[in-house]
């Protein structure tokens, strides 16, 4: 039991950047847009957040800076893919490549800078609960923020009128357009939202998780986030579960190694990917629910005329 607390607490922290980025991408894809630029947006968010926090001394402002930078990156994608109707897959890949280079370039002067220390924020009362308290309620503030985002996204998509419209745009932009909804504007907003969350995920990595800036530090987490959305069949709760599962297995395999478990470390390193995908595939294997949840117009350009 005592061993489990640090593992689970670390798993939550490790999964949080994925929660942000994947929930953002979920909303984007629900609007029928496939943005493969998550990795690039996370990287730019990471350096922007880090740089803002380092210059202003405020981690809050850093988080906002990360969001703004992620959204700005997403805006480039939106112009290309939504207004100019470039191929979404190609535009997204280009965005990732651009983000990798841009973040490395801008980040040069920040490679050895350190940030004000980000202590964990213990939630009053809740953090005193045995076992659950130290796991869930003694985290950095962005972890709590990620839960609010999760609640917000779930409510928005399935309980609000605006969410219904967004999903309609993802299912059939023609019909949504026919009844008078501004398809392109809605998709724009979704893409910006996704970019802001990817940027926030990146900022969480560079400000709280690592906390340092290093070139390429997102290290593939953007791609994991993209995969999570698909394997979780576009459902927020499963995305969240997948993110924590991935974080949990990542941490657990370190503990296993430290405890001297006789499994080769290469296999252990592959475990988070394998376990997450296998589990999500198994719980989401129902073909009808996949069909029900996957946005029909995903990745298709739409010209309103």
Partner 1 sequence: MNRRNSMRTAAAAAALAVAVAAGAQEPLKIGFVYVSPIGDAGWTYQHDLGRKEMEKALGAKVQTKVVDNVPEGADAERVIREFAASGNKVIFTTSFGYMNPTIKVATQFPAVTFEHATGYKTAKNVGIYNARFYEGRYLNGIIAGKMTKTNVAGYVAAFPIPEVVQGINAFEQGMRSVNPKAEVKVIWVNSWFDPGREREAANTLISQGADVLTHHTDSTAVVQAAEEKGKYAFGYHSDMSKYGPKAQLSATTHQWGAFYTRIANEVLAGTWKPVSVWGGLKDGMIKLGPINPAVPKDVVDLVQKAEKEIIAGTLHPFQGPIKDNAGKERVPAGKTMTDDEMQKMDFYVVGVQGSLPKN
Contact 28, 85 (CB under 8 A): no
Q: Which range of residues in 6-14, 36-44, 131-139, 232-240 is near partner 1 by CB under 8 A?
A: 6-14
Q: Which residue in this structure is represented by tokens 């994925």? A: 18
* Minimum gap (Å) between residue 257 Cβ and partner 1: 5
Complex with partner 1: residue 124 or 260, whichever CB lies closer:
260
Cβ atoms of 62 and 49 within 8 Å: the answer is yes
Whole-angstrom CA distances from 160 to 102, 140, 232 are 37, 29, 22
Of 83-91, 105-113, 137-145, 237-245, which segment contacts partner 1 by CB under 8 A? Answer: 105-113
Among 58, 83, 114, 175, which residue interacts with partner 1 (rule: CB under 8 A)? 114
Please give the backbone phi and psi of residue 292, each rounded to the nearest 5 degrees, phi first: -65, -35
Site for partner 1 in 234-263 (CB under 8 A): 250-251, 254-255, 257-262
Read off the tokens for 299: 């990745």
* Shortest spacing between CB 3 and partner 1, in angstroms: 8
Q: Smallest gap, in angstroms, from Cβ of residue 250 to partner 1?
A: 7
What's the token pair of residue 142? 């962005």
Cβ contact 45:146 at 8 Å:
no
Nearer to partner 1, 181 or 273 (CB): 273
Work out which of 209, 231, 234, 244 binds partner 1, going by CB under 8 A: 209
Does residue 104 bind partner 1 (CB under 8 A)? yes
Between the alpha carbon of residue 271 and those of residues 140, 156, 196, 225, 246, the distances in Å are: 26, 33, 30, 16, 9
DSSP summary character for residue 235? -
Size of the site for partner 1 (CB under 8 A): 33
| Under 8 Å between Cβ of 206 and 213 | yes
Q: Which is nearer to partner 1, 91 or 253 (CB)?
A: 253
State whether residue 139 is helix, strand or coil.
strand
Evaluate the CA torsion angle 191, 194, 200, 203 in order and state its sign.
negative
Contact range with partner 1 by CB under 8 A, out of 69-77, 156-164, 166-174, 214-222:
214-222
Tell whether residue 111 is a contact of partner 1 (CB under 8 A). yes
From residue 123, alpha-carbon distances to 43, 134, 151 in Å are 30, 10, 18
Q: Say if residues 118 and 208 touch (Cβ distance below 8 Å).
A: yes
Q: How far is the CB of 22 from partner 1 (least distance, A)?
A: 17
Name the residue nearer to partner 1 (CB basis): 62 or 295.
62
The yes or no reply on residue 219 touching partner 1 (CB under 8 A) is yes
Q: Does 210 bind partner 1 (CB under 8 A)?
A: yes
Q: Which residues bind partner 1 (CB under 8 A)?
A: 6, 10, 14, 104, 108, 111-112, 114, 117, 205, 209-210, 212, 214-217, 219, 250-251, 254-255, 257-262, 264-266, 268-269
């Amino acid at each position: 039991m005592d061993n489990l607390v640090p593992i689970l607490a670390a798993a939550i922290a490790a999964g949080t950047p994925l929660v942000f980025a994947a929930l953002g991408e979920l909303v984007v894809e629900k609007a029928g847009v496939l943005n493969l630029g998550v990795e690039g947006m996370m990287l730019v968010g990471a350096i922007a957040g880090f740089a803002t926090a380092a210059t202003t001394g405020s981690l809050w402002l850093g988080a906002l800076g990360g969001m703004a930078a992620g959204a700005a990156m997403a805006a480039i994608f939106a112009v290309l893919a939504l207004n100019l109707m470039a191929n979404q897959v190609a535009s997204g890949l280009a965005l990732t490549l651009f983000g990798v280079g841009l973040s490395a370039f801008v980040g040069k002067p920040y490679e050895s800078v350190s940030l004000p220390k980000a202590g964990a924020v213990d939630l009053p009362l809740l953090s005193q609960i045995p076992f659950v308290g130290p796991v869930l309620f003694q985290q950095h503030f962005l972890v709590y923020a990620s839960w609010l985002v999760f609640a917000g996204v779930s409510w928005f998509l399935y309980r609000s009128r605006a969410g219904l419209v967004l999903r309609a745009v993802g299912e059939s932009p023609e019909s949504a357009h026919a009844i008078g909804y501004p398809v392109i504007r809605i998709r724009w907003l979704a893409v910006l939202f996704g970019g802001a969350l990817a940027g926030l995920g990146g900022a969480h990595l560079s400000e709280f998780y690592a906390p340092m800036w290093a070139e390429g530090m997102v290290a593939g987490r953007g791609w994991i986030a993209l995969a999570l959305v698909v394997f979780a069949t576009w459902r927020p709760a499963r995305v969240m579960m997948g993110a924590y599962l991935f974080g949990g297995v990542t941490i657990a395999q370190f503990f296993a190694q430290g405890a001297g478990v006789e499994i080769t470390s290469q296999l252990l390193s592959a475990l988070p990917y394998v376990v997450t995908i296998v589990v999500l595939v198994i719980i989401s294997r129902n073909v009808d629910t996949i069909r029900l949840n996957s946005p029909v117009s995903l990745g298709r350009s739409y010209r309103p005329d």
